[in-house]
Amino acid sequence: MTYLDHGATSFPKPPQVHRAVAQAMRQCANPGRGGYPAAMAAAEALFRCREGAQRLFRCPAEQVVLTENCTQGLNMAIRTLVHPGDPVVISGFEHNAVTRPLYALGAKCHVAGRRLFDHGDTLQAFETALKAGVRAAVFTHVSNVFGYVLPVSELAALCRQYGVPFIMDAAQSAGSVPIDFEALGADFIAMPGHKGLLGPQGTGLLLCGRLPRPLCYGGTGTDSLNREMPDYLPERAEPGTRNVPGAAGLAAGLEYLYRVGVQTVGKRERTQAKLCGEGLKKLGFRVFSGEHQSGVVSFLPDMDCQEAAERLAGRGIAVRAGLHCAPLAHETAGTLETGTVRVSFGYNASDAQTQTLLRAASQLR
């Protein structure tokens, strides 16, 4: 199989991730509850994961909350900053993991930035909304549909300038684009563990610049006499037993990225996405590409996009078609009616993958 759906989850994972998961299954008991060796081995596995995140994102280990996925982190962050009816600014490229929690809260969403790959438009639209007064800003780092890399350093600076707390959705950027938590000064950055960070499914991280409001309440193994959740991290946001094998695998993924380098991985992905986009254009397809693009490229085939993906799957190529859980991004790009076929490269991106895809795509007539 030629796997080009890393935007959904990275696959296959590096062998060291498999080994770390298996080792944790063999050696670890419940973390943060007991003091015997198997319990401490579990606590150590979680701590290594936090340390890996600290090293990659410059975020103190205590402020790294282990979540089930990016969506859970985003929900926690949004429910901390946004109250029913609050005005909130979001980009025109947000995923349902952002828009649905905001809708559920009854937030008044101001959509800022409707032009793909246009930093000037994004920044101007955000500044207008921030100036008008909003309670919070939520923006994705990279569009999961089109690979548009938003100008997040400048957006963060604008938020700080106007005193507006912000959440960054790093679902498609973590592991592919450098992220500096300290420099951004974010209130929250949410990311999945199983995409660019190469960990197992069911893992995620929430980097916290402030105390979150818990989504769930329960035992933490510490502060047991307190009837409320602890007022310190990470316990406040981590009730119940954590996913120890998942965290061990994620720690191995973080270690891999630290060793290889996020810049190197990102460059590899972007190079192939560019070649892929150019090749698809030569084949006569409409391709969404531009400056500030990550390793994700969407195109419109001359047939229903799901049928195109099905035909590619028949030739051993895994891509994703449809709306990619991001109807807002499709509305922004004018592809809500058609959807797109998304090709997303990963840490193992290669010329061979691109050429295989282009050969198969040439038969989509």
CB-based contact 320:326 (threshold 8 Å): no
Our CB check for other proteins shows the closer of 46 and 125 to be 46
**115 contacts: CB under 8 Å, gap ≥ 6:** 121, 122
Q: Token pair for residue 123?
A: 């920044």
> How near is the Cβ of 35 to other proteins at its closest, in Å?
4
Burial bucket for residue 103 (CB in 10 Å: 0-12, 13-18, 19+): exposed
Site string for other proteins, 172-211 (x = CB under 8 A): ----------------------------------------
Element containing residue 305 per DSSP (H, E): helix 305-314
Using CB under 8 A as the binding criterion, the count of chain residues that bind other proteins stands at 24
Of 35-43, 150-158, 199-207, 260-268, the window that binds other proteins (rule: CB under 8 A) is: 35-43
The residues pairing with 94 across neighbouring beta strands, listed in sequence order, are none
Q: If DSSP codes are grouped into helix, strand and coil, which group holds residue 52?
A: helix
Q: Closest by alpha carbon to 79, among 104, 111, 109, 108?
A: 104
Our CB check for other proteins shows the closer of 35 and 163 to be 35
Choosing from 31, 196, 209, 301, the residue that interacts with other proteins (CB under 8 A) is 31
In 148-290, alpha helices (H): 152-161, 181-184, 244-260, 262-282
Pairwise CA distance, residues 212 & 129, whole Å: 25
Our CB check for other proteins shows the closer of 34 and 178 to be 34
CB-based contact 93:143 (threshold 8 Å): yes
Our CB check for other proteins shows the closer of 101 and 234 to be 234
Say whether residue 145 binds other proteins (CB under 8 A).
no
Please count the other Cβ atoms lying within 10 Å of the Cβ belonging to residue 232: 12
Residues 303-362 that bind other proteins (CB under 8 A): none
Pairwise CA distance, residues 182 & 179, whole Å: 9
Choosing from 226, 263, 264, 350, the residue that interacts with other proteins (CB under 8 A) is 226
> How near is the Cβ of 32 to other proteins at its closest, in Å?
5
Say whether residue 157 binds other proteins (CB under 8 A).
no
Compute the half-sphere exposure of residue 225: CA atoms within 13 Å on the CB side of its CA: 0
Q: Running DSSP on this structure, what letter comes out for residue 14?
A: P
Of 39-47, 88-96, 110-118, 150-158, the window that binds other proteins (rule: CB under 8 A) is: 39-47
| Furthest CA-CA distance within the chain | 67
> How near is the Cβ of 241 to other proteins at its closest, in Å?
13
Site string for other proteins, 41-70 (x = CB under 8 A): --xx-xx--xx---------xx--------
Choosing from 221, 290, 322, 327, the residue that interacts with other proteins (CB under 8 A) is 221
Our CB check for other proteins shows the closer of 24 and 81 to be 24
Say whether residue 230 binds other proteins (CB under 8 A).
yes
Binding site residues, other proteins, CB under 8 A? 31-32, 34-35, 40, 43-44, 46-47, 50-51, 61-62, 221-226, 230, 232-235
